[in-house]
Amino acid sequence: MASFRKAQSVGLTYQISLSGRELLPRLARQYQVHRETRPAETWTYYDSFDWRLYQRQLTLRSRPEGRIFRWQLRNLQGELVKRFKTHDSPRFAWDFPRGSVRLQLQKVLWVRSLLPRVEISSNSEMLRVLDKRRKTVCRLRWTRSRARLPEGAVSQVLPPRLRVEAVRGYSTIRKRLVDFLESELALERAPGLPLEEALEAVGVKPADYSGKIRISLDPELRSDRATREVLLSLLQTIQANREGVIQDLDSEFLHDFRVAVRRTRAALGQIKQVFPKRSVKRFRREFSWLGKLTGPVRDLDVYLLQIPEYQASLPAHVRADLAPLAEYLNAQRDAARGRLLRGLGSHRYQQLIRGWEAFLKGPVPRKTTLANAARPIGTVASERIARVYEKVVDKGSQIDPQSAPGKLHRLRLSCKRLRYLIEFFRSLYPAREMDTLIRELKKLQDNLGDYNDYVVQQETLRGIAARATAGRQLPAPTLMCIGRLVERLEAGQALERERFMGRFSRFSSRKNARIFEKLFRIDQRGGGSN
């Protein structure tokens, strides 16, 4: 961030209902003011679907000018961080011109695409406050703006704003002017930041999406009700991402969609005895179908995203040989996407989502024979987490350096279940300790996940090579590159395997075990079934 322009001063913005005729004479009584009109400007503001820029207090806006696009990266207060131009409209961070902006954007946006969020057109006047030498000592920017959704038909008038823009080296005068505006003219500070006001006017709530589970549960709540809340939040994630998957805006839509589906399946399987058996069976079957439907495209996405890394792991002179593999994968992805889109547009999908929503929003039965349905979620959650934790420790301790890969795979799945359960019920427990557990578990999961990726990628690449050889779809140099990659992956796999013992013993340490016991065992003594 060092090479970026630092924000020099925090500008103050005021609400202003006065007309020019009212404001200027009152200002003129105290100050010498020079008034000039600025050309009208229309800017489109961009952010990712999950508001990555907004959450880092940044705004990115652009406007076309002739054949180029002017861009400005600003902080939320409106101060310029960096400006630059492009020849077309970039979709991803890596499409921006090389340099510090691209690095910064790549760090923030990662693989997420930029979406136009709102368009703001403004007319402004600059009132320059002068000193005795007629030198500018402060600026007041008076802006009238309208906002509309990108490609929206109707624009909304935003309340006029007066912004104090400091001139460097004249802070005393600025402070006096601010006092004057607030006491003499009784101006009030604008309640929101300009972008937030514009978004609100067009009915968009920033940071309204997160792939994380953001619900807060009461430990006394009936378990079937609480489980429905968890599942409802997952359903919202599924629905929120569907459009992005269909339009193929970026790979994360499908990823979040899939994670939500997998979590749904885990919840149905792991939170036992809260829903009628028949419903559980039906929805597990249907969500399993949905999981399988989305699998192939996601797998190909992962390989495609991996290509630059694959290339980097090869000697420079053969890197270009990998290009046909990318083409091959892209072609496969197109075919897989066709199947995915048919699935998402199918009657079966609609039935599933509608039925699921109706089930989750329906009333909970007053009487139930299900063992856990009416028990408080605090107790049931602790029992389940404790149980799965024991399984993880149990499975993990049976693994020695000679164990078959399958054992690690099964441990990985148990860890995933544990992770999901902890995330579902995070709000029931002290946040700090939960975060510690998630962090510790994540380290183990990363190890197991990487190990598994190495195994699976080798198999997949070997499979691709075999099929492509049979169909003569890839040139020989590419096949040789694949051979080299498989070797690298084998080495990576061996390394992760070596690391496992250390990772696991750390996770199953006495210290972590004590936290698990403290958080999840106490309530269990109250009894209940599993």
Cβ 27 to other proteins shortest distance, Å = 18
Name the residue nearer to other proteins (CB basis): 131 or 435. 131
Q: Is residue 510 near other proteins by the rule CB under 8 A?
A: no
CA angle at 395 for the pair 391 and 396, rounded to the nearest 5°: 115
Q: Is residue 272 near other proteins by the rule CB under 8 A?
A: no
Task: Enumerate residues 6+ apart whose C-beta is below 8 A from 432.
Answer: none
Report the residue from 21, 29, 87, 168 that binds other proteins according to the rule CB under 8 A: 168
Cα→Cα distances 99→74, 115, 371, Å: 17, 22, 60
Q: Is residue 166 near other proteins by the rule CB under 8 A?
A: yes
Q: Is residue 5 near other proteins by the rule CB under 8 A?
A: yes
Name the residue nearer to other proteins (CB basis): 34 or 361. 34
Q: Is residue 511 near other proteins by the rule CB under 8 A?
A: no
Q: Is residue 139 near other proteins by the rule CB under 8 A?
A: yes
CA 378, CA 520: separation in Å to the nearest integer? 9
Q: Is residue 398 near other proteins by the rule CB under 8 A?
A: no
Name the residue nearer to other proteins (CB basis): 28 or 80. 80
The helices-and-strands tally (H runs, E runs) of the chain is 15, 10
Half-sphere exposure of 197 (CA within 13 A, CB side): 20
Part of the chain binding other proteins (CB under 8 A), chosen from 166-174, 192-200, 295-303, 353-361: 166-174
CA 111, CA 301: separation in Å to the nearest integer? 11
3 state DSSP class of 529:
coil
- Cβ atoms of residues 52 and 69 within 8 Å: no
Q: Is residue 68 near other proteins by the rule CB under 8 A?
A: no
Cβ 103 to other proteins shortest distance, Å = 15
- Cβ atoms of residues 77 and 7 within 8 Å: yes
Q: Is residue 349 near other proteins by the rule CB under 8 A?
A: no
Name the residue nearer to other proteins (CB basis): 56 or 135. 135
User: If DSSP states are collapsed to H, E and C, what string results for 38-72?
Assistant: EEEEEEEEEECCCCHHHHCCEEEEEEEECCEEEEE
Name the residue nearer to other proteins (CB basis): 168 or 278. 168
Report the residue from 133, 277, 317, 525 that binds other proteins according to the rule CB under 8 A: 133
CA 175, CA 157: separation in Å to the nearest integer? 30
Q: Is residue 175 near other proteins by the rule CB under 8 A?
A: no
Cβ 36 to other proteins shortest distance, Å = 11
Buried residues in 120-145 as b, exposed as e (16+ CB within 10 A): bbbebebbbbeeeeeeebbbbbbbbb
Report the residue from 69, 170, 209, 289 that binds other proteins according to the rule CB under 8 A: 170
Name the residue nearer to other proteins (CB basis): 167 or 221. 167
Cα→Cα distances 218→86, 293, 421, Å: 51, 35, 16
Part of the chain binding other proteins (CB under 8 A), chosen from 5-13, 102-110, 320-328, 437-445: 5-13
Cβ 189 to other proteins shortest distance, Å = 23
Q: Identity (one letter) of the amino acid at 22? A: E
Cα→Cα distances 380→79, 310, 371, Å: 51, 45, 10
Q: Is residue 8 near other proteins by the rule CB under 8 A?
A: yes
Part of the chain binding other proteins (CB under 8 A), chosen from 145-153, 164-172, 185-193, 318-326: 164-172
Residue 154: φ, ψ to 5°: -105, 135
The two tokens of residue 204 are: 């968009």
Cβ 78 to other proteins shortest distance, Å = 13
Q: Which residue has the tokens 């080296």?
A: 169
Task: Give the contact letters, 464-503, x = binds to other proteins (CB under 8 A), - = no.
Answer: ----------------------------------------
Interface residue list for other proteins (CB under 8 A): 2-6, 8, 70, 80, 83, 128, 133-136, 139, 165-170
